[in-house]
Amino acid sequence: MACCRSKTLSLILVTFSLVMCALLGVGEGRVPFACDPNNGLTKGFKFCSTHVAINLRVQDLIGRLTLPEKIRLVVNNAIEVPRLGIQGYEWWSEALHGVSNVGPGTKFGGAFPGATSFPQVITTAASFNQSLWQQIGQVVSDEARAMYNGGVAGLTYWSPNVNIFRDPRWGRGQETPGEDPILAGKYAASYVKGLQGDGAGNRLKVAACCKHYTAYDLDNWNGVDRFHFNAKVTKQDLEDTYNVPFKSCVLEGKVASVMCSYNQVNGKPTCADSNLLRNTIRGKWHLNGYIVSDCDSVDTFFGTQHYTKTPEEAAAEAIKAGLDLDCGPFLALHTDGAIKQGLITENDLNLALGNLITVQMRLGMFDGGAQPYGNLGPKDVCTQAHQELALEAARQGIVLLQNNGNTLPLSPRTQGIVGVIGPNSDVTVTMIGNYAGVACGYTSPLQGIARYVKTMHQVGCRDVACGATDLFGRAETVARQVDATVLVVGLDQSIEAEFKDRVGLLLPGHQQDLVSRVAKAAKGPVILVIMSGGPVDVTFAKNDPKISAILWVGYPGQAGGTAIADVIFGTTNPGGRLPNTWYPQDYVDNVPMTNMDMRANPTSGYPGRTYRFYKGPVVFPFGHGLSYTTFTHSLVVAPKEVALPIVSLSALKNSTFSSKGVKVSHANCGALELGFHVDVKNEGSMDGSETLLIFSKPPIGKWNSVKQLVSFHKVHVHVGSKQSVKFGVHVCKHLSIVDEFGIRRIPMGEHELHIGDVKHSIYVQTLDEIKN
């Protein structure tokens, strides 16, 4: 790549930077990206003056660039411009749940052998803890800045993945916050805020990127892959499901970038759709940042989808639609031809380049030696505090699915020897999932349990594919001898991954047989631990009287083994909740991944998707999770009715109403947040954390099948104590629905709120109705 240095030059730069770091205020290994105060060439450039407004600095720089230079700056491996004192830059770095080396912008080694690897996103999402998500983002960005200062990472991170986990077979569902758009949106905003900093002065700590916009949740299933897939999505589903996390990411998280996806939406590639990009992300949501393609997406919609006849047309379509940066070489190769053919102008290119340079300036990359966070270095990566947070995140993400007879927690006094069995019982790298880096270190499940008790270990299966049963006998022998048995089974990246969607929901190979045979042989209690990203149909285990407890641990990160053991032995009281519906196998037997409809269709027999629209049998429901203690909820303050003010009588007479639903755009939404106060009491025998989930359900009628999460809150409550939770329910936001035309409306009548285990009704009517 043009941006890469030779090894010799890198050594020279590292040596030079060690000498200059105290003067420049930058970390070891990094010389200024641009505007180096020691480079006399740049002193007179307006774009180097930090006292000038960023937009004027951007204009000055663009005015100095030649057309060939501009073209080579709108691709991920941007060239250096030596005559202006600007180094090359690799835009592609990843930080999904820790600094990753998946993208070419980040390298591990030397002073940075690894970085803190937090649990995979689906696991962290199960904590339902917004402050935790932001804390993780803050730690990841500390380590990212440290590595940037050391010359081994960039400042633009193409994370998080906030797509909806629509189908349980999706191989990349593990990267997402789950199936609910509100949950995904809150995760997106929290993590992005942690990564990007407090936004003071429009500055960025690192630049995050919410991906993959939009309706992308199929990689490679039954002969259909993401490069060829046309997602047919209704306006209703786009508005109230698929786009919700991205909207939250931009409006609440103030994200600096959005990535468009490979797939088409309703016949148009997302990276060539001006309505999705220019009109929505930048127009309606006012993105303050840049739009980037998924890698080689522009080439894909030309060469694979044949959306345009020529590559020049493809380059022009992408830039006109609002794309600013191409991950891949396509724009570098074909933008000049597009300009020469009159398909776009140089000014179109300037607008895209301006968005990119603006983000770099907000990051401080054109501020010379006075770098923000320049004091961060190797000492700030893999710190004890960071690793303790990774452990805490793993603890909070573990979900207790079943606990018959209060078998858990185990006692080291009465269960002094524990059998640890299964293909995931002593794994390390498996625990960090995909889009991970190099962890600071690992504690496997076996190692974690061994810190509490003596262990006997057998894998039972050589890997998660579990293609043979010849090791089952040894596992059964262990189960007969020990006081308790912990079976750690599930999936890994050979089963679910990018470009690898699952075929079904059952445990792979002979794993189910292993579990059943070991459980039958066991003399003591059997604990089933499922390590996976996606849901697994473990109905057999739920119904097996020999299996006392079931835990889902996701992919729990570098400290996963410690967290698992802490939960099993009661050092930690589990408080995680499922961020996904766990369906039975026969659900996917009858539902193609290619059907994007969220809502059920009784005529065709289509059952719908996610807890919001699917009403059939489940293995475990969305939001399910048990505790070792007992919580109760009581309403202290809860409004019973609200009068909805209408903007104007003309709106009321015209198109406001539809089946007793008022358009949100015609309501005066300003002061329509209702205050609630709920007390959460711990009436059990162990301190613990409770997740208070608040759902709303509209009045009986046209939209009654819709149930949606509107809010959630995490509280820690000591035994015998209570915690007050105060929250707002906004009528226009939380009690509204989206109609078949993609218009958000507020149904009139009695809305039902489910606040933990309490039901409460709110009657919504217009002021006009009250007067009459």
Q: Give the three-state DSSP class for 79.
A: coil
In angstroms, rounded to a whole number, what is the distance separating the alpha carbons of residues 176 and 498? 12
In angstroms, rounded to a whole number, what is the distance separating the alpha carbons of residues 401 and 552? 7
Order the strands of the 264-265 sheet from edge to edge: 230-231, 264-265, 268-269
Strands (E), 300-416: 399-403
In angstroms, rounded to a whole number, what is the distance separating the alpha carbons of residues 575 and 715? 10
- Which residue, 18, 35, 256, 53, is CA-closest to 141? 256
CA atoms in the 13 A half-sphere facing the CB of 303: 6
Give the burial string for 9-26 (b: 16+ CB within 10 Å, else e). Answer: eeeebbeebeebbeebbb
In angstroms, rounded to a whole number, what is the distance separating the alpha carbons of residues 270 and 209? 16
In angstroms, rounded to a whole number, what is the distance separating the alpha carbons of residues 386 and 394? 13
Residue written as tokens 């408080």?
575
Q: What value, to the nearest 5°, has the Cα angle with vertex 624 and ends 623 and 628? A: 125
Order the strands of the 484-490 sheet from edge to edge: 399-403, 547-552, 526-531, 484-490, 417-421, 454-458
- Which residue, 632, 661, 629, is CA-closest to 644? 661
Q: Give the three-state DSSP class for 345.
A: coil
Catalytic residues, by residue number, are 294
Residue written as tokens 């010849």?
470
> Is there a contact between 660 and 747 (Cβ–Cβ < 8 Å)?
yes
In angstroms, rounded to a whole number, what is the distance separating the alpha carbons of residues 156 and 35? 19
In angstroms, rounded to a whole number, what is the distance separating the alpha carbons of residues 559 and 72? 42
Q: Give the three-state DSSP class for 708.
A: strand
Q: Does the bond joining 699 to the residue before it have cis omega, within 30 degrees of 0? A: no
- Residue 728: CB atoms within 10 A of its CB come to 13
> Is there a contact between 536 and 582 (Cβ–Cβ < 8 Å)?
yes
Strand bridging mode 210-213 / 257-260: parallel
What is the identity of the amino acid at 185? G
In angstroms, rounded to a whole number, what is the distance separating the alpha carbons of residues 384 and 559? 12
- Which residue, 733, 678, 712, is CA-closest to 133? 712
- Residue 615: CB atoms within 10 A of its CB come to 12
What is the identity of the amino acid at 740? E
